[in-house]
Amino acid sequence: MKYMIMMFGSQLDYDAIAGRVNEGRPAWSEEDMAALHAFMTKWNNDLVESGEFVDACGMTAPVHARRVGVRDGVPVVTDGPYPESQEVLAGYTIVECASFDRATEIAARLADTPAPAGEDLGGREWYVDVRPIAGSASELEL
Protein backbone atom coordinates (compact mmCIF):
# COMPACT_ATOMS: atom_id res chain seq x y z
CA MET A 1 0.00 0.00 0.00
CA LYS A 2 1.15 3.54 -0.67
CA TYR A 3 1.12 6.22 2.01
CA MET A 4 1.68 9.96 1.85
CA ILE A 5 3.69 11.54 4.64
CA MET A 6 2.74 15.23 4.63
CA MET A 7 4.97 17.81 6.28
CA PHE A 8 3.57 21.18 7.29
CA GLY A 9 5.03 24.61 7.85
CA SER A 10 4.11 28.26 8.03
CA GLN A 11 5.35 31.39 6.33
CA LEU A 12 7.36 32.01 9.53
CA ASP A 13 9.12 28.66 9.02
CA TYR A 14 9.99 29.56 5.44
CA ASP A 15 11.23 33.00 6.57
CA ALA A 16 13.51 31.37 9.18
CA ILE A 17 14.87 28.89 6.63
CA ALA A 18 15.56 31.83 4.30
CA GLY A 19 17.69 33.39 7.06
CA ARG A 20 15.20 35.97 8.33
CA VAL A 21 14.43 36.39 12.03
CA ASN A 22 10.68 36.69 12.49
CA GLU A 23 8.58 36.78 15.66
CA GLY A 24 11.50 35.65 17.80
CA ARG A 25 12.29 32.61 15.69
CA PRO A 26 16.01 32.24 14.98
CA ALA A 27 17.18 32.51 11.39
CA TRP A 28 18.67 29.34 9.92
CA SER A 29 22.36 29.57 9.06
CA GLU A 30 24.07 27.88 6.12
CA GLU A 31 25.28 25.22 8.59
CA ASP A 32 21.72 24.67 9.84
CA MET A 33 20.49 24.25 6.26
CA ALA A 34 23.35 21.86 5.49
CA ALA A 35 22.38 19.75 8.50
CA LEU A 36 18.73 19.74 7.37
CA HIS A 37 19.68 18.74 3.82
CA ALA A 38 22.00 16.00 5.09
CA PHE A 39 19.26 14.64 7.37
CA MET A 40 16.61 14.63 4.63
CA THR A 41 19.02 13.13 2.09
CA LYS A 42 19.80 10.27 4.48
CA TRP A 43 16.11 9.79 5.32
CA ASN A 44 15.20 9.60 1.62
CA ASN A 45 18.21 7.41 0.72
CA ASP A 46 17.32 4.98 3.51
CA LEU A 47 13.84 4.68 1.97
CA VAL A 48 15.33 4.15 -1.50
CA GLU A 49 17.61 1.43 -0.13
CA SER A 50 14.72 -0.31 1.65
CA GLY A 51 12.64 -0.17 -1.56
CA GLU A 52 9.92 1.89 0.15
CA PHE A 53 10.57 5.26 -1.55
CA VAL A 54 8.10 6.30 -4.26
CA ASP A 55 8.32 10.09 -4.55
CA ALA A 56 9.06 13.25 -2.57
CA CYS A 57 8.74 16.96 -3.16
CA GLY A 58 9.14 20.19 -1.22
CA MET A 59 6.76 23.07 -1.72
CA THR A 60 7.59 26.75 -2.18
CA ALA A 61 6.71 29.28 0.53
CA PRO A 62 3.03 30.02 1.16
CA VAL A 63 3.57 33.57 -0.11
CA HIS A 64 3.86 32.01 -3.60
CA ALA A 65 0.55 30.13 -3.35
CA ARG A 66 -2.87 30.87 -4.73
CA ARG A 67 -6.13 29.46 -3.42
CA VAL A 68 -8.97 29.09 -5.88
CA GLY A 69 -12.43 28.87 -4.37
CA VAL A 70 -15.98 29.43 -5.47
CA ARG A 71 -18.27 32.10 -4.06
CA ASP A 72 -21.80 32.43 -5.43
CA GLY A 73 -20.82 30.21 -8.36
CA VAL A 74 -17.88 32.42 -9.34
CA PRO A 75 -14.21 31.43 -9.00
CA VAL A 76 -12.39 33.55 -6.41
CA VAL A 77 -8.58 33.63 -6.32
CA THR A 78 -6.73 34.55 -3.12
CA ASP A 79 -2.97 35.04 -3.00
CA GLY A 80 -1.11 33.42 -0.10
CA PRO A 81 -0.16 33.29 2.63
CA TYR A 82 -3.59 32.79 4.12
CA PRO A 83 -4.27 34.41 7.49
CA GLU A 84 -6.99 31.86 8.27
CA SER A 85 -4.56 28.94 8.05
CA GLN A 86 -1.11 29.26 9.58
CA GLU A 87 0.14 25.81 8.60
CA VAL A 88 0.28 24.73 4.99
CA LEU A 89 1.67 21.73 3.14
CA ALA A 90 5.45 22.23 3.05
CA GLY A 91 6.35 18.95 1.37
CA TYR A 92 5.51 15.31 1.08
CA THR A 93 7.03 11.90 0.71
CA ILE A 94 5.20 8.93 -0.72
CA VAL A 95 6.25 5.52 0.52
CA GLU A 96 5.08 2.05 -0.42
CA CYS A 97 5.35 -0.28 2.51
CA ALA A 98 3.73 -3.25 4.22
CA SER A 99 1.47 -1.46 6.69
CA PHE A 100 0.11 1.77 8.11
CA ASP A 101 2.23 1.07 11.19
CA ARG A 102 5.39 0.91 9.07
CA ALA A 103 4.50 4.19 7.32
CA THR A 104 3.95 5.77 10.75
CA GLU A 105 7.31 4.43 11.93
CA ILE A 106 8.98 6.00 8.89
CA ALA A 107 7.27 9.34 9.54
CA ALA A 108 8.22 9.28 13.23
CA ARG A 109 11.89 9.37 12.24
CA LEU A 110 11.27 12.98 11.15
CA ALA A 111 11.11 13.92 14.84
CA ASP A 112 14.93 13.89 14.67
CA THR A 113 14.99 16.65 12.04
CA PRO A 114 17.74 19.09 13.00
CA ALA A 115 16.97 22.72 13.76
CA PRO A 116 19.11 25.73 14.63
CA ALA A 117 20.15 26.40 18.20
CA GLY A 118 17.27 28.10 19.98
CA GLU A 119 14.62 26.55 17.74
CA ASP A 120 13.07 23.84 19.85
CA LEU A 121 10.91 21.75 17.54
CA GLY A 122 9.86 19.70 20.53
CA GLY A 123 8.80 22.83 22.41
CA ARG A 124 6.17 23.85 19.88
CA GLU A 125 3.54 21.87 18.10
CA TRP A 126 5.14 19.88 15.33
CA TYR A 127 3.51 17.17 13.29
CA VAL A 128 3.31 15.30 10.03
CA ASP A 129 0.25 13.53 8.70
CA VAL A 130 0.35 9.99 7.34
CA ARG A 131 -2.50 8.93 5.07
CA PRO A 132 -3.08 5.91 2.87
CA ILE A 133 -3.34 6.72 -0.83
CA ALA A 134 -6.50 5.37 -2.40
CA GLY A 135 -5.75 3.19 -5.39
CA SER A 136 -9.41 2.78 -6.31
CA ALA A 137 -12.84 4.22 -5.55
CA SER A 138 -13.56 1.37 -3.13
CA GLU A 139 -10.62 2.47 -0.97
CA LEU A 140 -12.25 5.87 -0.42
CA GLU A 141 -14.89 4.32 1.85
CA LEU A 142 -14.87 5.32 5.51
What is the pLDDT of the chain when averaged over all its residues? 88
pLDDT tens digit sequence for 8-61: 988 888 888 888 887 777 888 999 999 999 999 999 999 999 999 999 999 999
Q: Is residue 45 part of a domain?
A: yes
pLDDT above 90 for 79 = no
Parent domain of 60:
2-135
Q: Is residue 31 part of a domain?
A: yes
Q: What per-residue confidence (pLDDT) applies to 50?
A: 98
Q: What per-residue confidence (pLDDT) applies to 21?
A: 81
Q: Is residue 142 part of a domain?
A: no
Q: Is residue 71 part of a domain?
A: yes
Which residue would you say has higher pLDDT here, 131 or 114? Answer: 131
**Model confidence band, residue 85 (pLDDT cutoffs 50, 70, 90):** low
pLDDT above 60 for 124 = no
What distance in Å separates the CA atoms of residue 11 and residue 109, rounded to the nearest whole number? 24
Domain count, the chain: 1
Q: Is residue 29 part of a domain?
A: yes
Give Cα 53 distance to the centre of its chain. 16
Q: What per-residue confidence (pLDDT) applies to 121?
A: 54
pTM (two decimals):
0.86
One-letter-per-residue 3-state SS of the chain: CEEEEEEEECHHHHHHHCCCCECCECCCCHHHHHHHHHHHHHHHHHHHHHCCEEEEEECCCHHHCEEEEEECCEEEEEECCCCCCCCEEEEEEEEECCCHHHHHHHHHHHHHCCCCCCCCHHHCCCCEEEEECCCCHHHHCC
Q: What per-residue confidence (pLDDT) applies to 142?
A: 63
* Rounded percentage of the chain residues whose pLDDT exceeds 70: 91
Residue 37 sits in a domain whose CATH number is: 3.30.70.1060
pLDDT above 50 for 122 = no
